[in-house]
Structure 1
């Protein structure tokens, strides 16, 4: 089976952002996507070109166009968010994004009436109905098909960095799971989801897809739902591991990190270098550590098994990628990774809000809607403690 890889300009960018709708007064999820998407229809009843439905009616997905810079992609998404708000605000519906809703129950949600989704639920049953999750997907352009799998394989070395920064699903159905990202472990229950196989050639990938199509596992390559995957129809490598991010600043930060990593790898391949990879068992362990411990994870760095706290590894990568960010004009966005490091990742902020409000998960939803509306602001500087006078 031949799978063509679309032409794509190197390191161009596209972002998909799943956003949930909640009742302003209660924080409960609202199945209003059909109302929103109907209102957004254009001339001749044409669907909106970038705002689409998702598995559940409580969700709309914002899909950016193809951009050269992260700032343009984020501005694009912000414009789409404003279009949605123009419809939801008068309905007393707020918008939020996180890997999971803190107290929503899967059995109360309505599946979007689309054959693709009904087929998924029919096959996956309880696990499929539990997919009450939100994420972001970042596409980065690959200018040569032969680069796609080496880049995807090497991106797995940075899986825990991105998982920890984006982790935002500590609660599930009203329960504190003890995980920074419960979404990461929930989503991998679907067929073909989870960590990818580390194929050595494009032909290996084509053989894999052909096998799955022949045995009825999938209809085509788009149903391979790996955490990191080539997207042949767009000519990109797609990072899908990240939990939903609650603010434009975090979207920009994580997208810039991914764009810089991919561009740096692309340049190394052009120079004839071999990209580093880790053993699959190290990659799997890193995924679990980042999902469980988030920013407190001790991660495996390389095939030699060296380890380091993920927060230290992220700071080191920010320094290493600084020249790449200059080249891609995303210095400000990459620097916003520090905003996450300083404020805490979303899961940490959610846990903090719950603790400060007597365990109230409605307060957590409220804080998430405020972050999405107003952005993630730097923490106020701590006042300097007065120096004591010492008498000798």
Structure 2
């Protein structure tokens, strides 16, 4: 498995700044990443799980990290901590820091990263691309081949809204509390190719859909196939894309464990002939909306019944569903504890709102707290975001 995280680059006051390309120039000189020009020429958006790296994103107020292929959750945790520290060091070298926030709490005017592909996206998608400044977390899990991958996609789709709720970390947008726990998930669905799918007959059926989407001339390339989960174009993996970037590394590790458990469970079900749940994509879209609205503080749609149930009850059902796969991988205790901790202390959205209330509505304080937590420090460790050097 491998994990990709998109991060905001912020200045010492906590405001997002377009220093991502400058930070990546530093990282490239250290052999830790690609410049925007190099990345644009590679044209491999969203399919970068083969090696550790720092790369650009659509907006200059962002950068992305990716782990190498990992075999254990301990490796995932170690790699995420290391690459977050390298991203922070690169940002610090140009006067910034990084924050694992899925949207900017403070008002910001997004600045596009230079490059032909990003320019094409802005031209093709207008205000959607101009306003888009969101940070997600993508988890890749290895599969045998496309047939197994499609069998997995068919069976995990009903659980993906639950992952959106579990990872909610974007309550604010342009200085306003949106009323959502994950507003990133709402903004993201403005892309024409984003969202859930109907089940596929087989791998050929999946690829026919990709060809049909590309044939419309609407999305630029396969990198813009923004399905909730998809087959990687370059690697033998299923890529799950519904999560907000998570403030805490330990929560990202919990997510990675759950995704691997879902993929392994689905592969076993396919092998033994258990049919995938027949739930319409329209219902999954509603479930995803509800998950983004309330996170873990309200009811979620229970995939087993299609009706509302308390978030803790739905998460317990998810854990029970994947428990044999978690146990076989040695992940059952770690993931169960991680889910329990999220239920006890809340998501990143809950932390952001807590800091917002405690500071009398200071959104820059929310960002500064996020910088501290991103770096593995307590949320109250940063009264200001210092300009660090490395």
TM-score, structure 1 normalization: 0.86
Name the CA distance, whole Å, in 2 between partners of 1:232 and 1:155.
19
Q: Is the 8 A contact 2:53 2:65 kept in 1?
A: yes
Q: Secondary structure at the match of 1:61?
A: strand
Name the CA distance, whole Å, in 1 between partners of 2:186 and 2:281.
17
- Answer with 1 or 2: which has the greater Rg: 1
Deviations 1:26-85 (A, max 9, x none): 101121122211112258998386110111111111011112122212312222222223
Q: Secondary structure at the match of 1:218?
A: coil
Query: Gaps (5+ residues) in structure 2?
Result: 36-51, 380-390
Q: Is the 8 A contact 1:55 1:117 kept in 2?
A: yes
Is residue 104 of structure 1 aligned with residue 107 of structure 2?
yes
Q: Is the 8 A contact 1:163 1:290 kept in 2?
A: yes
Name the CA distance, whole Å, in 1 between partners of 2:153 and 2:338.
24
Number of residue equivalences: 362
Query: Which of 61, 70, 85 is the matching residue for 1:82?
Result: 85
Q: Is the 8 A contact 1:279 1:303 kept in 2?
A: no
Is residue 240 of structure 1 aligned with residue 249 of structure 2?
no
Q: Is the 8 A contact 1:168 1:243 kept in 2?
A: yes
Is residue 29 of structure 1 aligned with residue 16 of structure 2?
yes
Query: Gaps (5+ residues) in structure 1?
Result: 1-12, 378-392
Q: Which residue of 2 aligns with 1:6?
A: none
Shift in Å, 1:200: 2.3
What does 1:335-350 correspond to in 2, within 5 Å?
Answer: 335-350=337-352
Q: Which residue of 2 aligns with 1:158?
A: 159
Which is worse superposed, 67-76 or 324-333? Answer: 324-333
Name the CA distance, whole Å, in 2 between partners of 1:144 and 1:336.
30
Is residue 51 of structure 1 aligned with residue 51 of structure 2?
no
Question: After the TM superposition, which segments of 4 or more aligned residues of structure 1 sit over 4 Å from their partners?
Answer: 42-46
Query: Which of 354, 361, 364 is the matching residue for 2:356?
Result: 354
Q: Which residue of 1 aligns with 2:97?
A: 94
Deviations 1:109-133 (A, max 9, x none): 3211111111111111111111110
Deviations 1:291-311 (A, max 9, x none): 111113323324653432122
Q: Secondary structure at the match of 1:168?
A: coil
Q: Is the 8 A contact 2:33 2:55 kept in 1?
A: no
Shift in Å, 1:329: 2.9
Q: Secondary structure at the match of 1:40?
A: helix
Shift in Å, 1:171: 0.6
Name the CA distance, whole Å, in 1 between partners of 2:148 and 2:32.
40
Deviations 1:148-182 (A, max 9, x none): 22321322211222111111111100001111111
Shift in Å, 1:273: 1.9
What does 1:372-387 correspond to in 2, within 5 Å?
Answer: 372-374=374-376
Deviations 1:234-277 (A, max 9, x none): 12111111111111111101111111111111122222222324
Name the CA distance, whole Å, in 2 between partners of 1:43 and 1:90.
12
Shift in Å, 1:233: 2.1
What's the RMSD between the two structures over aligned residues?
2.2
Name the CA distance, whole Å, in 2 between partners of 1:45 and 1:103.
29
Q: Which residue of 1 aligns with 2:73?
A: 70
Q: Is the 8 A contact 1:23 1:30 kept in 2?
A: yes
What does 1:1-392 correspond to in 2, within 5 Å?
Answer: 13-24=1-12, 26-42=13-29, 47=34, 50-105=53-108, 108-302=109-303, 304-334=305-335, 335-374=337-376
Rate the CA distance shift 1:58–1:332 in 2: closer, same or farther, 3 A.
Answer: farther
Rate the CA distance shift 1:336–1:361 in 2: closer, same or farther, 3 A.
Answer: same
Rate the CA distance shift 1:146–1:129 in 2: closer, same or farther, 3 A.
Answer: same
Q: Is the 8 A contact 2:3 2:139 kept in 1?
A: yes
